[in-house]
Amino acid sequence: MSDARTARYRGLFPVVPTTFTETGELDLASQTRCIDFMIDAGSEGLCILANFSEQFLLADDEREVLTRCAIEHVAGRVPVIVTTTHFSSRVCAERSRRAEAMGAAMVMVMPPYHGATFRVPEDKSFEFYARVSDAIHIPIMVQDAPASGTLLSAAFLARMAREIEQVSYFKIETAGAASKLRELIRLGGDAIEGPWDGEEAITLLADLDAGATGAMTGGGYPDGLRPILDDYRAGRRETAIAGYTRWLPLINIENRQCGFLAAKALMKEGGVIACDAPRHPWPGLHPASRAMLMEAARRLDVLALRWAR
């Protein structure tokens, strides 16, 4: 595995939520305030158009608008990862080329899948990532998430890292993530430039112990998660454990109760964004879940609740 000091990207890269108006239009003014907050709160990089960005509720032209808006507004302050997932190798490669041309530091790509049953064999997944790699000159992060319903073994991921030029980062969100990260690093060696934690940091400490060098989390409280990563990297493991223990109730509420609506709810409550509604037909946050989220966030003095005040 590449040493964390030499990996191009490491640390905290939260997912940027997509902000809408009450009628479901893109709200770019809120979007740019959201980005500014997330950088001010300690994000070392950002990821856009992920599942936690409600990418499945966006039109293709809106993806282009959001990519350009985010990268131009960030203006080099932090690296930006653009999610370019699509079932088609050609479409994914074209999306990835456009993202690179706009200034993306990396693309994140799930394996080809559609709905509950449409999958491709392992050899076709390999060809898919190889074609995307051939189209770009920036790293690919393989998103290994249960949503795809595709089994990506550690051995297969390590093989892709060794044989496909741009495949070098891996966001592991499956059950037993720490064990899979450990095996991936063992099998892939130096080809594994970025073994990363995901799923809102619910397994962060175990994944760091397994060798994770980055974390892709929700975007609502980078100010709470960044010190945990900083302490762990500096060898202050007990301090990192204490910090994680303190923030774990909020992490749990986001991961198990509120999902991708948590970040927008916190930002709306603190005046960072104007509206926290998802796009129809996704249901809004239940009032009881919102109250639970806000209680935990206030107990921690989350920056999102006061950044815009």
Instruction: Measure the CA angle with vertex 140, ends 107 and 216; round to 5°.
Output: 65
Average pLDDT, the chain: 97
* Cα-based distances in Å from 296 to 226, 250, 299, 305, 306: 18, 6, 5, 12, 15
Using pLDDT thresholds of 50, 70 and 90, give the confidence band for residue 135.
Answer: very high
- The beta-strand segments (E) located in 72-116 are 80-83, 106-109, 113-114
CB 94 within 8 A of CB 63: no
Q: How far is it, in rounded angstroms, from Cα 126 to Cα 180?
A: 19
Digit-coded pLDDT (tens) for 79-125: 999 999 999 999 999 999 999 999 999 999 999 999 989 999 999 99
pLDDT of residue 4 exceeding 70, the answer is no
CB 262 within 8 A of CB 297: no
Q: Which amino acid is residue 144, in one-letter code?
A: D
| Cis peptide preceding 14, ω within 30 of 0 | no
**241 alpha-carbon distance from chain centroid:** 22
pLDDT of residue 309 exceeding 90, the answer is no
pLDDT of residue 5 exceeding 60, the answer is no
Show which residues are catalytic: 171
CB 271 within 8 A of CB 309: yes
> Tokens 């108006």 appear where?
21
Digit-coded pLDDT (tens) for 158-179: 999 999 999 999 999 999 999 9
**Taking phi first (over 0 means left), then psi (-120 to 50 degrees means alpha), and beta for anything else, what does residue 199 get?**
left
Using pLDDT thresholds of 50, 70 and 90, give the confidence band for residue 234.
Answer: very high
The number of CA neighbours under 13 Å toward the Cβ of 35 is 26
Position 3 scores a pLDDT of 53
**pTM, whole model, 2 decimals?**
0.97
Which ranges of 146-203 does DSSP label H, i.e. alpha helix?
A: 154-163, 177-188
CB 115 within 8 A of CB 141: no
Tell me the percentage of the chain whose pLDDT exceeds 90. 97
Within 10 A of 252 (CB to CB), how many other CB atoms are there? Answer: 14
Digit-coded pLDDT (tens) for 236-294: 999 999 999 999 999 999 999 999 999 999 999 999 999 999 999 999 999 999 999 99
Q: How far is it, in rounded angstroms, from Cα 234 to Cα 44?
A: 16
Digit-coded pLDDT (tens) for 24-62: 999 999 999 999 999 999 999 999 999 999 999 999 999
pLDDT of residue 2 exceeding 80, the answer is no
Task: Give the mean pLDDT of 119-132.
Answer: 97
Position 205 scores a pLDDT of 97
**Positive or negative: CA dihedral 238, 243, 248, 254:** negative
Position 46 scores a pLDDT of 98
Q: Angle, to 10 degrees, between the axis of helix 177-188 and the axis of helix 154-163?
A: 40
